Amino acid sequence: MTTEHPFAQFVRILGKGRTGSRDFTEQEAEEVMRMILANEITAEQLGAVLMLLRVKEETPAEIAGFVRAIKKSFELPSDRPAVDVDWSSYAGKRRHLPWYILSALLLAQNGITVFMHGASGHTAGRIYTRDVLALLGLPAARSFAEACDQLTKNHFSYMDLEHMSPRLHQIIELRPVLGLRSPVHTVARLINPMDATHVITAIHHPGYHPTHQESSRLLGHAHAAVVKGEGGEIERNPDMETLVKTLHGDTMEDELWPAMFKKRHVKPAELNPASLAAVWRGEYEDEYGEAAIIGTAAIVLKTMGRTATMEAAEALASEMWQLRPKETLAAVA
Tens of pLDDT along 171-219? 988 888 888 788 888 899 999 999 999 999 998 777 888 899 999 999 9
At residue 332, the pLDDT reads 55
Which amino acid is located at 117 in the chain?
H
What's the rounded Cα separation, in Å, for the pair 246 and 213? Answer: 7
pTM score: 0.94
What's the rounded Cα separation, in Å, for the pair 248 and 244? Answer: 13
Least Cα distance to 94 among 256, 204, 207, 174 occurs for: 204
At residue 318, the pLDDT reads 98
Class of the CATH domain delimited by 8-72? mainly alpha
At residue 123, the pLDDT reads 67
* Topology (CATH level 3) of domain 85-328: Pyrimidine Nucleoside Phosphorylase; Chain A, domain 2 (3.40.1030)
What's the rounded Cα separation, in Å, for the pair 167 and 19? Answer: 33
Residues of the chain with pLDDT under 50: 1, 333
At residue 204, the pLDDT reads 79
What's the rounded Cα separation, in Å, for the pair 35 and 41? Answer: 7
4 HSE (CA, 13 A, CB side): 7
Least Cα distance to 268 among 98, 14, 100 occurs for: 98
* Mean pLDDT (the chain, rounded): 93
At residue 252, the pLDDT reads 94
What's the rounded Cα separation, in Å, for the pair 102 and 108? Answer: 10
- The boundaries of every CATH 1.20.970.10 domain in the chain are 8-72
- The boundaries of every CATH 3.40.1030.10 domain in the chain are 85-328
